[in-house]
Amino acid sequence: MTDALRYYAHTDSGHGHLLEASSYEDAALSFAEAHAPMADDDAVRVVVQAADGGPEHCFVIHLHSGAVEACG
């Protein structure tokens, strides 16, 4: 298992948290499970960035199944 890194994750509404995770995808899923509001269509869009900067990565999290996919 890789060491946890620090990420900043947020929804489009700007609601965000700093958290530790093993990858961008893991950070998005952890954020959605703990902090994202329930979405009408079971999916929430989460944007993740390394805490020390760099590019943002966007994911769609399907809340009921836990499936994660890149925004398209």
For the chain, 72 residues long, give each residue's pLDDT as a single digit of tens: 457 899 999 988 777 899 999 999 999 999 988 887 666 678 889 999 999 999 999 999 988 888 999 998
The domain ranges of the chain are 5-70
pLDDT computed for residue 31 by the predictor = 92
SS3 sequence of 18-62: EEEECCHHHHHHHHHHHHCCCCCCCEEEEEEEECCCCCEEEEEEE
- What global pTM score does this model have? 0.85
pLDDT computed for residue 1 by the predictor = 46
CA–CA distance, 55 with 33 (Å, rounded to integer): 23
